[in-house]
């Protein structure tokens, strides 16, 4: 009984700390969404007040582009936020399969925006991981965005770690002082809408039975290794 009574205050403090962390995180998310949403609404209102001639001119084009950028930022934040929420409550089925890492990264790079910072990939040997394709793509996209902050060129090194796992090292923009902690109200904003990229990558790594860490100034995503099977040759028959 005495032991239980002694543990209660500590449990209470832990719950209070968790609640404070949660409140700070949600406050940050709300702030990140509110700013670009306000910009989008403001520019849309200006556009509705303009004459057709003005909307078709240089000022109208500028406001339209600003509105679309803001809405894209809001969409990215909302998608990342709800993915984090679903992962936190195990609300997404994980369908692990052998995935060829090099092909997965190449496919993501083909879909990157033309103005995205350059990415170089170093893969000394064919490697595969056991992961859910959709979730792994979201994690890799997030880490490419974080490492490529402020237009920084990104270098991705894929290597086995000798313990039945594969590590993906993302080097580029240096990690912030908060490391992998969830942002809180007052944390730095992200003009591209990727302020929740690290929370996404960290949660995805966990559900894939891997890990995300910061080492030597790089982000390191470690995943279970799978047997590598070469892609089938395309059929030449008509």
Confidence of residue 119 (pLDDT cuts 50, 70, 90): very high
CB 178 within 8 A of CB 63: no
Confidence of residue 1 (pLDDT cuts 50, 70, 90): very low
pLDDT of 237 > 70? The answer is no
Q: Give the residue among 159, 180, 179, 183 at the shortest CA–CA distance from 169.
A: 159
pLDDT of 2 > 70? The answer is no
pLDDT tens per residue, range 171-229:
999 998 888 999 998 899 999 999 999 999 999 999 999 999 999 899 999 999 999 88
Q: How far apart are CA 207 and CA 88, in angstroms?
A: 9
Q: What's the pLDDT score for residue 206?
A: 98
pLDDT of 5 > 70? The answer is no
Confidence of residue 235 (pLDDT cuts 50, 70, 90): low
pLDDT of 124 > 50? The answer is yes
pLDDT tens per residue, range 11-48:
665 888 889 999 999 999 999 999 999 999 999 999 99
Q: What's the pLDDT score for residue 17?
A: 86
Q: How far apart are CA 27 and CA 223, in angstroms?
A: 31
Residue 73: phi, psi to the nearest 5? -65, -45
Q: What's the pLDDT score for residue 4?
A: 46
CB 211 within 8 A of CB 205: yes
Write out the chain in H/E/C secondary structure.
Answer: CHHHHHHHHHHHHHHHHHHHHHHHHHHHHHHHHHHHHHHHHHHHHHHHHCCHHHHCCHHHHHHHHHHHHHHHHHHHHHHHHHHHHHHHCCCCCCCCEEEEHHHHHHHHHHCCCCCCCCEEEEECCCCEEEECHHHHHHHHHHHHHHHCHHHCCEEEEEEECCCCEEEEEEECCCCCCCCCCCCCCCCCCCCCCCCCHHHHHHHHHHHCCCEEEEECCEEEEEEEEECCCCCCCCCCCC
Q: Give the residue among 147, 33, 40 at the shortest CA–CA distance from 81.
A: 33
Q: At what angle do helices 133-147 and 197-207 cross, to 10 degrees?
A: 140
Q: What's the pLDDT score for residue 11?
A: 61
pLDDT of 8 > 70? The answer is no
Stated pTM of the model: 0.88
Domains (ranges, CATH) in the chain?
2-88 (1.10.287.130), 97-226 (3.30.565.10)
Q: What's the pLDDT score for residue 10?
A: 53
In this prediction, residues 92-117 reach a mean pLDDT of 96
pLDDT tens per residue, range 50-103:
999 999 999 999 999 999 999 999 999 999 999 999 999 999 999 999 999 999
């Amino acid at each position: 009984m005495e032991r239980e009574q002694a543990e209660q205050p500590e449990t209470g403090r832990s719950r209070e700390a968790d609640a404070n962390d949660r409140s700070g995180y949600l406050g940050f998310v709300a702030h990140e969404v509110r700013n670009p949403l306000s910009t989008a609404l403001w520019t849309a209102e200006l556009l509705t007040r303009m004459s057709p001639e003005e909307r078709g001119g240089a000022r109208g084009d500028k406001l339209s582009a600003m509105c679309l950028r803001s809405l894209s930022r809001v969409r990215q934040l909302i998608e990342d936020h709800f993915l984090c929420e679903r992962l936190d409550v195990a609300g997404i089925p994980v369908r692990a399969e052998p995935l060829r890492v090099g092909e997965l990264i190449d496919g993501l790079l083909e879909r990157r925006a033309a103005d995205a910072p350059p990415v170089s990939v170093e893969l000394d040997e064919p490697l595969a991981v056991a992961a859910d394709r959709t979730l792994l793509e979201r994690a890799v996209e997030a880490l490419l965005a974080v490492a490529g902050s402020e237009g920084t060129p990104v270098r991705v090194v894929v290597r086995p770690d000798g313990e039945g796992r594969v590590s993906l090292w993302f080097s580029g923009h240096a990690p912030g002082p908060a490391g992998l902690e969830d942002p809180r109200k007052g944390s730095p904003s992200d003009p591209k809408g990727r302020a929740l990229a690290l929370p996404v990558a960290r949660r995805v790594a966990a559900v894939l039975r891997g890990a995300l860490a910061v080492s030597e100034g790089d982000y390191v995503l470690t995943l279970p290794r799978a047997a590598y099977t070469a892609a089938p040759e395309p059929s030449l028959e008509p």
